[in-house]
């Protein structure tokens, strides 16, 4: 009987039954909890096709000066994390055998990481807080989104490079200790920068040995902060501009130069685009983000781009492998991803044996009819 059970267990593991490991690649969707109360119709977790994902990264929690972790919107958290039924994102995900990680930080809440990582007592408190929210809410791990170590505008200091490694190591030890108690493995991941400039503030080789995998933010290579329009997330370098600012260059940097195993690298797919007002086309001057058609806080989500597609002509940069739009009757440029470019990027993941993709953010592809075209492309490509 014991021999039979052993053989059955081996086959069970190989087949991946009852686990998200049956997926060939990771499909990780960030969920913006802080937007839930502003647009419940679209941000409703019950609309997310969890069966097409492997992990949800719940964004965001943030530390205060004492290293205590708090959600960005406590009211939304009370519904999404502590509620029941169709709004409980962890319950919905777990029913589909999808893991949920607490993502901590983000662009606007990275200012205290340098301070916390520099003090051993604060680092220990932070790690303890990570295990607290795991036990309180049922998370399956932690995703650290420090943007970025050594980045001066977010209070970064040169010593962040060494401190980030030890910071992650302390968190990893705490998760391992909790896992031994529960006979479980809690994931530890991090959202890491796509550019050489910001990755220089991280000892990537050491960090990659601590993390389960690395979520590389291969988007926002360009945006309205630049003087001319350019691609948000080019797969390959276009004809003009810095040739290092593309996904292919980033992957080669992390793997060939910094020593990260390919099977630990997830590339980022944006379900949004950047809009440039008073802009005639690609590599042209502009006056900032559009407020005429989209008028969104940050670019334009894919759903809204599709809704307004009749106002634009679509073009394809065959070298960069991404599309862009120009206004038919006014000067408005949009850099975005669509089904064709997402498929190209998924092909790249498969061809280069990467671990998978992260998506910012997963609700951006939920259309008015509740279909999810971009997510469908990813799922179908990774599960042939």
CATH code of the domain containing 352: 3.20.20.80
Return the residue matching tokens 């862009």. 324
Whether 319 is covered by a domain: the verdict is no
Q: Which residues of the chain have pLDDT under 70?
A: 1-23, 85, 297
pLDDT score, position 69: 98
Q: Decide if 199 contacts 192 (C-beta within 8 A).
A: yes
Identify the helix (H) or strand (E) that includes residue 141.
strand 141-145
**Can you give the residue range of the structural domain that contains 237?**
8-271+337-382
Whether 313 is covered by a domain: the verdict is no
Whether 318 is covered by a domain: the verdict is no
**Number of Cβ atoms within 10 Å of the Cβ of 182:** 10
Whether 351 is covered by a domain: the verdict is yes
Rg (the chain; Cα; Å): 21
Structural domains in the chain (count):
1
Whether 325 is covered by a domain: the verdict is no
pLDDT score, position 105: 98
105: left (phi over 0), alpha (psi -120 to 50) or beta: left
pLDDT score, position 15: 36
Q: Decide if 56 contacts 98 (C-beta within 8 A).
A: yes
Whether 348 is covered by a domain: the verdict is yes
* Cα distance between residue 112 and residue 105, in whole Å: 9
pLDDT score, position 85: 64
260: left (phi over 0), alpha (psi -120 to 50) or beta: beta
Whether 3 is covered by a domain: the verdict is no
Whether 278 is covered by a domain: the verdict is no
């Amino acid at each position: 009987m014991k021999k039979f059970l052993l053989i059955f267990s081996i086959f069970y593991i190989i087949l991946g039954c009852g686990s998200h490991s049956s997926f060939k690649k990771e499909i990780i969707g960030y969920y913006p909890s802080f937007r839930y109360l502003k647009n419940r119709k679209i941000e409703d977790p019950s609309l997310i096709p969890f069966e097409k994902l492997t992990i949800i990264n719940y964004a965001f929690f943030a530390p205060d000066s004492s290293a205590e972790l708090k959600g960005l919107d406590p009211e939304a958290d009370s519904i999404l994390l502590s509620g029941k039924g169709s709004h409980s994102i962890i319950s919905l995900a777990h029913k589909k055998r999808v893991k949920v990680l607490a993502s901590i930080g983000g662009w606007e809440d990275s200012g205290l990481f340098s301070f916390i990582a520099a003090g051993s007592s604060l680092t220990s408190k932070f790690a303890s807080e990570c295990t607290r929210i795991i036990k309180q809410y049922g998370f399956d791990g932690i995703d650290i989104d420090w943007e970025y170590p050594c980045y001066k505008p977010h209070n970064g200091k040169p010593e962040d490079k060494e401190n980030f490694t030890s910071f992650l190591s302390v968190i990893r030890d705490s998760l391992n200790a909790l896992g031994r108690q529960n006979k479980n493995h809690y994931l530890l991941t991090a959202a890491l920068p796509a550019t050489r400039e910001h990755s220089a503030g991280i000892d990537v080789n050491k960090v990659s040995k601590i993390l389960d995998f690395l979520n590389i933010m291969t988007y926002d290579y360009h945006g309205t902060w630049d003087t001319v329009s350019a691609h948000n997330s080019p797969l390959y370098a276009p004809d003009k501009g810095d040739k290092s600012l593309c996904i292919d260059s980033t992957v080669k940097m992390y793997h060939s130069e910094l020593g990260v195993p390919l099977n630990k690298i997830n590339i980022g797919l944006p379900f949004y685009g950047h809009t440039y007002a008073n802009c005639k086309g690609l590599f042209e001057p502009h006056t900032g983000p559009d407020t005429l058609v989209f008028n969104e806080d940050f670019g334009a989500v894919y759903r809204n781009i599709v809704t307004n597609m009749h106002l634009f002509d679509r073009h394809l940069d065959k070298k960069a492998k991404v599309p862009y739009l120009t206004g038919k009757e006014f000067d408005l440029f949009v850099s975005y991803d669509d089904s064709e470019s997402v498929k190209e990027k998924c092909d790249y993941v498969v061809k280069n044996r990467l671990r998978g993709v992260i998506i910012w953010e997963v609700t951006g592809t939920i259309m008015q009819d509740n279909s999810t075209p971009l997510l469908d492309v990813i799922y179908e490509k990774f599960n042939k």
